[in-house]
Structure 1
Amino acid sequence: MVLSLENKIFLNYISRKLKLKDRRRSTRNLKRRLRRKRSQERYYSSLRKSRFIREAEELFTSIQIFDPADMEWTSVNSGQALPSEILEWQNRDQIAYWKSRAISLEYENRMLKQHLRNVYAQTIEDYSKQCEMEDDDSGKYSNRSEEKNRQKKASCRTKKKLVTPNLPESKQRADDMKKLYGDKSQKIMGMETAMQLDFERCKEQGKPSYWPNLPLKLRFE
């Protein structure tokens, strides 16, 4: 059977239409599957997130958060008074804590002063270099303001005297503690100093004797 040219063109047109329709259908199906997959992923992720939030809230409600710096000593039994030994220990502990805070703040104050001295010295050095560069540039182009340049150089030389920082005596110990404990070194140094002072005070007041070296006799009958 021989087809005419018009029939061939019509058949080609129909086949192209069908192919295009199939392609569009497959594309729509693919997009639909992708949307379904994304919606499922969003749903499962929302479930995981809600479960995590619920567990975190339960954990936070079961944990009591407090700041040791703002902690106040209170009796466990509100109707009963604490023994004098416990009250004395609490007072000593509070005094040692505030002593350590004061020592750490003093050390931090010294470090800040040292930093300010270094910054001031560096600023003066940079200013003197800038003055020298400006003087060199101005001398290349004009010789009219020689007197002004000399005065400027003199003022720069007077300002160039750097402030020698007063290094603390315990700088080596502070560096060692910084290597060991990092950012918490100041607080730990203050606590160690407060504990050492408290120990020496108790030693001077009590004058304790050494524990006797007695042999331990055990009988097994």
Structure 2
Amino acid sequence: MRKHPVPGDRLLPLGLQMLYEDRDIFVVNKPAGLLTIATDKQRERTAYHVLTDYARKGNAKSPHRVFIVHRLDREASGILVFARTAKAKLRLQGEWDRTRKEYLAVVHGKLDKRADTITTYLAENRAHIVHSTTDPRRGKPSQTAYRVLRETKAYSLLAVGLLTGRKHQIRVHLAGIGHPIVGDRKYGAQQDTHKRLALHARSITFLHPFSGNPMMFEATTPGYFRTLVGEFEMAAPPPCAGP
């Protein structure tokens, strides 16, 4: 499998970085704070809007479109895959369970286990807050694997793999074991003074929707993570990155 290079000069508006493009897909590195796509009530610029403008080369009447394959939380940074045709989207989503996704997270405190898999059911309430439940009738089965990479007195750096892909899954699972992600005011401490969420979608491996070739991409880890835990080395892919 070939690891695809990351061009350093392909910056798009709003800090979006183009990692790869062909006639079927876009792979980008999304900065923290940028929405993947807006709801009907939100009118701000998003990664989807930036890529649509890019695909249409500024021509609003162009027939070129962009299709959402998956999403990242607004507060998180890292790799996103978009399709350029409806057929490519369907093929990617049809194989999404086989996609390997690796995240980095900095959490509060030191974990008792160096590696583990968190298994719960996740449900969402009317306030759009996701929470764990033991009742399979109320929630969807969810699994998150993690491995400790580095520890300091206050924080732990984790490599995290999603074995399922639920909304806010990593954030809820890590908060649920008493180690919320740094900067997570929604599921962690509301008085957390850190300005950004320390969650980064670092790498992804998937099959191209038409050639079937395996493709792997990595997004540079933001300097913010090293500010929190110091220097560290990454081996790719780690064993907890999913099936």
What TM-score does the superposition give when structure 2 sets the normalisation length?
Answer: 0.16
Higher helix share: 1
State the structure with bigger RCO (CA 8 A, min sep 6), 1 or 2: 1
Structure holding more strand per residue: 2
Who wins on radius of gyration, i.e. which is larger? 1
